[in-house]
Amino acid sequence: MFLRKYIDKNFATKDEIENVTSKIGRLEDGINALSKENESLKRILKFYAHGDLCGFSENAELFGWSGYRLERKTYVYKNGEEYIFDGLYIENPNFAQENKENVVYASSGDGKYKYVLDLVNKTFIEISVGK
């Protein structure tokens, strides 16, 4: 009898352990989401110029246990919002906008490559490759 009370009082059940593990997982997900949002806000504060359409591209070389990979991203800032285009790198990008609110035209600094960027769907199309 004494041993049973001691075990019930001092050891968690499988359900209790699973419940705590689930709560920890949700907390970790929330922390990761807040961390990503924080990084986004830092970039907006650093790169966004009020009233301007601006942005930059980066090539990140990532090394890990699974090996090497190259991550390409282009960031566009408009009206205080950040738009990220995965898989797109533009050397010294220039951005312009015409009639459509959610469409941005981007070109490389030398004018050799030109793209249309869809801000809503965060997709891009290469429209010109110069010589």
**Residue 63 and residue 41 share a domain:** no
0.85 surpassed by pTM:
no
Q: In terms of Cα–Cα distance, which of 14, 25, 95, 29 is closest to 57?
A: 95
Residues 29 and 62 in one domain: no
Q: What percent of the chain has pLDDT over 90?
A: 53
Other Cβ atoms less than 10 A from the Cβ of 113: the count is 18
Instruction: Identify the domain containing residue 39 by its residue range.
Output: 1-47
2: pLDDT confidence band, cut at 50, 70 and 90?
low
Q: 55 and 25, same structural domain?
A: no
Q: Tell me how many domains the chain contains.
A: 2
Judge if 97 and 123 occupy the same domain. Answer: yes
Instruction: Give the tens place of pLDDT for each residue, 101-127.
Output: 899 999 999 989 999 999 999 999 999
pLDDT tens column, 24-36 = 999 999 999 999 8
